[in-house]
A and B are shown apart, each in its own frame.
Chain A
Amino acid sequence: MKGVGIPFASLGYDPEEIYRIMGYGTNTPGRRIRQRTDQLWQIASGRVFPSYYYEILQGEVHPRSLVAGPVAFDTGALIAGLMKNSLQFAVFVATAGNGLGEWIAESQKKQDWAEIYMIDCIGSYIAEKAGDYMESELEKQLGGIKHTHRFSPGYCGWDIKEQQKLFSLLPPGACSVTLHESCLMEPVKSISGIIGIGEQVQTKRYGCVVCESDSCYKRKIKK
């Protein structure tokens, strides 16, 4: 497998963020949920093995698209604008790994849906934190060269079908993440995307503030 293992402890435990993913917003859940979240995090530390992989490619940005290595991406104007002045691109995948799916499958036999839901939310948190870790490792390699936020097909107007192109730039089996024809990644708790790199790039606002999609799950969580 091509990929770098991430020490679980380095992900950092932020229960407030996990509660937010669970739908609590700014509310604090009751003691039972808080204790269970702590317990599940402890269990996760023994059976979830996140990893990441990235590759840096030369490229260029156009008004509505970008080219990374041999592949042209139709990102749309929004992401192309946010990638402006990028001369290289880090194409990445990061995942919570297969252990999480196996854990959920075991829990499904008990039909404890509250627990399954909580594990699923912890999985979402781990996948994003694995992305953060990957980004921090990339920063170390870049040695001060600027980079953009990370962007993924399926968000901010970038067609999810471009995921197929993105995976064509990754070695087969990177982090053991596979891409289905429907653009579903497996393990499900995985993220993939691209980061622009260049001395002149600007880290502009991103996420829901620059995207108009009202059907995106990230916007729904914020509501």
Chain B
Amino acid sequence: MNELNNLYEAILSGKLPQAVEVTEKAIAANIDPQLIINEYMMKAMEEVGARFETGKAFVPELLMAARAMKGSLDLLKPVMGAGNIQSTGKIVIGTVKGDLHDIGKNLVASMFEGCGFEVVNLGVDISSEKFIQAVKENHADILCMSALLTTTMEYMKEVIAALDAEGLRKHVKVMIGGAPVSEDFANRIGADGYSDNANAAVALARKLVS
């Protein structure tokens, strides 16, 4: 089906209506959903990610692509059946206690979803108890924490200590992000990784679950 190239182009250029239209046609034509995802949709996301890394695409282009990707994925999921969807990994994400910033965290969550991860977005002002409960209930592969204040970023350390205390630390990777956070800080608090943008967060998450 030649039109699948249009799906690649629609996602690459972040055009949701076109992506949805081509996906609906592909479903009607009984094309293998996993082939559509792997050969066209994921490839488009990889390309926009590569363009971002080389300064040829920027955050809005990334997010538009992720939205188009998610629009298509939402159509394909019911066709595939829950048991047959190849999830890249399961991520619990939230902004730590005391912090109400949610835009950056939501952007990262949408990129994760657009790139095939299952995401449980807890919201903002999340206590260590809530993080732990969500990790347990969802059998998360990765816990992502965000903070935008120097006063709240230290709470990430408490959450990691709580994961340790619950015996969960070996089973879940921890990623952190947010304006005041750095690689050094991630190392200092014992996180598995840090990223300073949504695209790098996806690349790191893929690495951590591989």
Q: What is the CA–CA distance of A180 and B99 in the complex, to the nearest angstrom?
A: 9
Interface range, A side: 20 to 34
Contacts of A180 in B (CB 8 A): 98, 100
Find out whether the CB atom of B152 lies under 8 angstroms from the CB atom of A182: yes
Q: What is the CA–CA distance of A104 and B104 in the complex, to the nearest angstrom?
A: 13
Find out whether the CB atom of B101 lies under 8 angstroms from the CB atom of A188: yes
Does residue B201 face the partner (Cβ distance < 8 Å to A)? no
Find out whether the CB atom of A117 lies under 8 angstroms from the CB atom of B101: no
Find out whether the CB atom of B182 lies under 8 angstroms from the CB atom of A113: no
Find out whether the CB atom of A23 lies under 8 angstroms from the CB atom of B58: yes
Q: What is the CA–CA distance of A25 and B59 in the complex, to the nearest angstrom?
A: 12
Does residue A39 face the partner (Cβ distance < 8 Å to B)? no
Min CB distance B148 to A, Å, is: 8
Q: A221: nearest residue on chain B (CB-CB)? A: B179
The stretch of A44-52, A57-65, A212-220 in contact with B is A212-220
Contact of B60 among A29, A154, A161, A215 (CB under 8 A): A29
Does residue A168 face the partner (Cβ distance < 8 Å to B)? no
Q: What is the CA–CA distance of A116 and B185 in the complex, to the nearest angstrom?
A: 28
Find out whether the CB atom of B151 lies under 8 angstroms from the CB atom of A183: yes
Given contacts A113-B63, A113-B67, A117-B63, is CB(A182)–CB(B103) below 8 Å? no
Taking Cβ atoms with an 8 Å cutoff, the residues of B that contact A are: 14, 55, 58-61, 63-64, 66-67, 98-101, 103, 106-107, 110, 148-152, 179-182, 185, 196
Further 4 A-B residue pairs, CB within 8 A, beyond A23-B59, A25-B55, A184-B98: A108-B106, A188-B100, A215-B180, A215-B182
